[in-house]
C-alpha cells in the first residue's frame, strides 16, 4: 500500500482565481488538483496525494491563527505520512503560507513536511531552519524541475532514508552544521581549494560566508534650504480604499500618489494597506508614517526648498528583496527626472 500525502496549494494553483479570490477560506478536496498531478506522477507509485487543501493567500496571512487551526484539523482527518506545501516559487504571501502551515504540521502533528520556493521568497529565509525547502526557480515556469526534486526528497523522508547535503537533495541550505568523516584531512582540502582558486578553476567552499548587500551613501545635500525633497515609504500609506490594491503582505506593486494639495493627511483621505503592524494609529493619522504635515511646516519655514508633489509607497511586510529593488530602480528614475535632490524613506 502506497504512502498517503496531503497537499496544500493556494487559490491560483487550484484554478479558483487570481488576486480577486485571494480571500477564500480553507477548503479540502479529495484527490489531486493542479500541480499535485505532476507530483503524483513524479512519486512513481511510492505515494499518492489523497487530499488537497486550498486557501487564499490573503485569507491565510490576514487570519493566520484561524487558518492554521482549520487546516491542521483537515490534515488530521487523513493522517498522512507526509505533508507537501506548494511549490510557491517567488510568490511571497504563498511562500509564507506554505512555510507557516508546513512548520505547524511538522511541529504540532508530528508529520514530516516539505515545501519548495525561490531562494529570495521571504518564506525561504523565515522557515529554512525548521523545514526542508526545495530550491526552485522564481516562477511556475520552473515547475518541471521543482516537482521531481520535491518528489525525490518526499520519498526519502517517507522511507526514513538519510537526507543528503543541500547540493545532493536540492534544498535551500539550512545553516545547520553536521560532523562527517571526510576522505582527506582539512588542511589538504584547504590547500587544494586554494590551488584551484589561484588557477582560476572552479571550487566549492565548505563554509560559505553570508553575502551582505552594502550601499554606499550619497554625498550630503549641499543646500537643504533649496532642496526638492520626496517621500517614499514601505509603511503602506495609500489614498483611502487603496485604489491600486497594493497587497497587505508580499507586495507585487507600488503606488505613486499626488499630495500637491495636501498639507496634512487624515483618516478621511488616507490609510495604510500594511498587514504587518497594528494599523489603528496610522489610520487615525497617516502623517505618523508619512510625515506630510511636518514637511509642509519645514517648507513654509524655508528649512527645505519644497516637498515633491508625488510620494511612492509599497508594503515592506514580507516583500521580496528582488521586488523591492525592482520597485526602487523604476521610480528612482522618475525621481531623478523630476529633479528630486533627496528622499526621506519611512518605514514602521
Which residue ranges make up each domain of the chain?
3-169, 224-346
User: What pLDDT is stored for residue 337 in this prediction?
Assistant: 96
- pTM of whole model > 0.75? no
What three-state secondary structure class fits 155? helix
Q: What is the pLDDT of residues 244-268, one digit of tens each?
A: 999 887 788 999 999 999 999 999 9
Integer Cα distance of 59 and 41 in angstroms: 30
Q: Residues 16, 17, 19, 23: is their CA dihedral positive or negative?
A: negative
Nearest to 6 by CA among 61, 49, 67: 49
CA distances from 172 to 100, 101, 130, 154 (A): 16, 18, 11, 15
Determine the pLDDT at residue 318: 66
Q: Residue 318 and residue 250: Cα distance in Å, rounded?
A: 5
Residues in contact with 20: Cβ distance below 8 Å, sequence separation at least 6, in sequence order: none
Alpha-carbon distance 285 to 281, whole Å?
A: 6
Query: Which positions of the chain have pLDDT values less than 70?
Result: 1, 318
pLDDT score, position 164:
87
Q: Would you identify the CATH topology of the domain 3-169?
A: Rossmann fold (3.40.50)
pLDDT for 100: 95
Give the pLDDT score at 1. Answer: 55
Write out pLDDT tens, residues 138-182.
888 899 999 999 999 999 999 999 898 888 899 999 877 777 788
Amino acid at each position: 500500500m502506497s504512502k498517503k500525502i496531503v497537499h496544500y496549494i493556494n487559490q491560483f494553483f487550484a484554478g479558483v482565481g487570481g488576486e480577486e479570490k485571494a480571500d477564500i477560506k480553507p477548503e479540502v478536496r479529495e484527490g489531486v488538483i493542479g500541480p499535485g498531478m505532476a507530483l503524483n506522477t513524479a512519486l512513481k507509485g511510492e505515494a499518492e496525494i489523497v487530499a488537497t487543501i486550498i486557501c487564499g493567500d490573503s485569507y491565510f496571512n490576514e487570519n493566520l491563527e484561524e487558518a492554521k487551526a482549520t487546516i491542521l484539523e483537515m490534515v488530521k482527518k487523513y493522517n498522512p505520512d507526509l505533508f507537501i506545501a506548494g511549490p510557491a516559487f517567488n510568490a511571497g504571501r504563498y511562500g509564507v503560507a506554505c512555510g507557516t502551515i508546513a512548520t505547524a504540521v511538522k511541529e504540532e502533528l508530528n508529520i514530516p513536511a516539505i515545501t519548495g520556493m525561490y531562494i529570495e521568497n521571504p518564506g525561504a529565509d523565515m522557515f529554512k531552519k525548521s523545514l526542508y525547502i526545495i530550491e526552485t526557480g522564481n516562477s511556475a515556469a520552473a515547475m518541471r524541475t521543482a516537482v521531481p526534486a520535491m518528489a525525490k526528497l518526499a520519498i526519502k523522508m517517507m522511507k526514513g532514508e538519510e537526507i543528503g547535503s543541500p547540493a545532493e537533495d536540492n534544498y535551500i541550505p539550512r545553516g545547520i552544521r553536521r560532523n562527517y568523516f571526510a576522505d582527506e584531512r582539512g588542511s589538504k582540502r584547504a590547500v587544494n581549494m586554494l590551488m584551484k582558486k589561484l588557477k582560476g578553476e572552479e571550487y566549492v567552499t565548505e563554509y560559505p560566508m553570508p553575502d551582505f548587500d552594502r550601499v554606499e551613501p550619497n554625498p550630503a545635500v549641499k543646500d537643504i534650504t533649496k532642496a526638492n525633497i520626496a517621500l517614499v515609504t514601505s509603511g503602506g500609506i495609500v489614498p483611502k480604499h487603496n485604489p491600486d490594491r497594493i497587497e497587505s503582505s508580499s507586495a507585487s506593486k507600488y503606488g505613486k500618489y499626488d499630495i500637491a494639495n495636501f498639507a496634512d493627511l487624515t483618516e478621511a483621505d488616507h490609510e495604510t494597506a500594511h498587514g504587518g503592524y497594528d494599523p489603528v494609529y496610522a489610520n487615525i493619522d497617516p502623517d505618523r508614517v508619512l510625515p506630510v504635515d511636518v514637511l509642509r511646516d519645514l517648507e513654509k519655514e524655508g528649512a527645505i526648498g519644497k516637498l515633491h508633489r508625488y510620494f511612492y509607497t509599497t508594503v515592506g511586510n514580507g516583500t521580496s528583496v528582488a521586488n523591492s529593488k525592482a520597485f526602487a530602480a523604476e521610480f528612482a528614475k522618475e525621481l531623478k527626472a523630476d529633479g528630486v535632490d533627496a528622499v526621506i524613506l519611512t518605514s514602521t
